[in-house]
Amino acid sequence: MLLKLLAVGDVVGEGGQDILSRRLSGLREETGAHFAVVNGENASGVGITPAQARRILDAGADVITLGNHTWNRIQIGDYLDKEPRILRPANYAGRVPGRGLGIYSCQGLRIAVLNLMGRLELNSNLDSPFKSADWLLNRGKYDLAVVDFHAEATSEKGAMAWYLDGRTAAVWGTHTHVPTSDCQILPKGTGFVTDLGMTGPKRSVLGIKPDHSINLFLGGLPRRYEEAEGSCKLNACLFTIDTEKKKCVAVNRTDIEE
């Protein structure tokens, strides 16, 4: 049997939430996706609130993953403990709310979704994502596993995919908001793409107003980033997985632009 899993890039602001609400259901139908994982850590621009998480789930996400902005909206803390369909990076050091591994039923299968975060140039105060992956993959009973690796460096993302080759059906990168064209299947059957991209305003710098980013790079005073206006895009990849062999057989970009 083939399982089709849709992975959607970081949802940015109101524009990202809007296009997701309007287009995710149709994209799932068009691609035949059985399961959808959406990174929602930028739903507030930085961070996500419980109301925004519920909106993403209502749009058709089966699971929400997060990243380095998990705690920018601190009210998400209690929600992370209550709602099993939202994950935060498993390798946060110390005692924090929520979980980084969820096991979900789909098509008679148990799908383990792991949320991990890189340390290189992002957050050194984390446990090793590689050791955390080893530990998580030895927990619980599941039929196949997939990973959202939220990381800055393309090298760290690639290293993680090769490290997990043959142990997970898919690994995809999030965080950098720029879609990559390196969809591939590694030698032992793990599907991989370096970065999904983002779901949010097209005419922007990573979803924010360009002049805000320009100001920073010209040495101006820091200011609160504001979401860019205008038409949006939805960046995503479809992973087709042979559930008997537990291997990925195809990885395809399924981007939408308006």
In this predicted structure, which of 75-89, 153-167, 205-219 has the lowest mean pLDDT?
205-219
- Mean pLDDT over 172-198 rounds to 98
Report pLDDT for 224: 79
pLDDT tens, position by position, 152-181: 999 999 999 999 999 999 999 999 999 999
The neighbour count for residue 79, using CB atoms within 10 Å, is 18
Q: Where does the pLDDT of residue 115 fall: very low under 50, low under 70, confident under 90, or very high at 90 and above?
A: very high
In this predicted structure, which of 112-121, 151-160, 207-216, 239-248 has the lowest mean pLDDT?
207-216
Q: Which two three-digit tokens encode residue 161? A: 């995919």
**Closest listed residue to residue 29, CA positions, set 256, 258, 257:** 256
Structural element, H or E, at residue 137: helix 129-137
Q: Which two three-digit tokens encode residue 52? A: 């925004």
The neighbour count for residue 4, using CB atoms within 10 Å, is 18
CA 181, CA 142: separation in Å to the nearest integer? 30
* 150 is an active site residue: no
Report pLDDT for 82: 97
CA 249, CA 121: separation in Å to the nearest integer? 32
Report pLDDT for 225: 81
- Mean pLDDT over 10-35 rounds to 98
Domain 2-202+231-257: which topology? Purple Acid Phosphatase; chain A, domain 2 (3.60.21)
DSSP bridge pairs for 38: 8, 64
**Closest listed residue to residue 114, CA positions, set 176, 164, 48:** 164
**Closest listed residue to residue 235, CA positions, set 3, 5, 8:** 8
- Mean pLDDT over 33-62 rounds to 97
Residue type, 183: C
CA distances (Å), 236 to each of 30, 173, 193, 222, in order?
A: 13, 11, 10, 31
Residue type, 171: V
Q: Which two three-digit tokens encode residue 71? A: 């705690």
Task: Write down the catalytic residue from 34, 69, 150, 212.
Answer: 69
Report pLDDT for 12: 97
CA 123, CA 142: separation in Å to the nearest integer? 30
Report pLDDT for 90: 97
Start-to-end CA distance of the chain, whole Å, equals 34
Report pLDDT for 138: 93
Report pLDDT for 212: 85
The neighbour count for residue 166, using CB atoms within 10 Å, is 13
CA 116, CA 34: separation in Å to the nearest integer? 23
Instruction: Establish how many alpha carbons lie within 13 A of residue 119's alpha carbon, considering only the half-sphere containing its beta carbon.
Output: 15
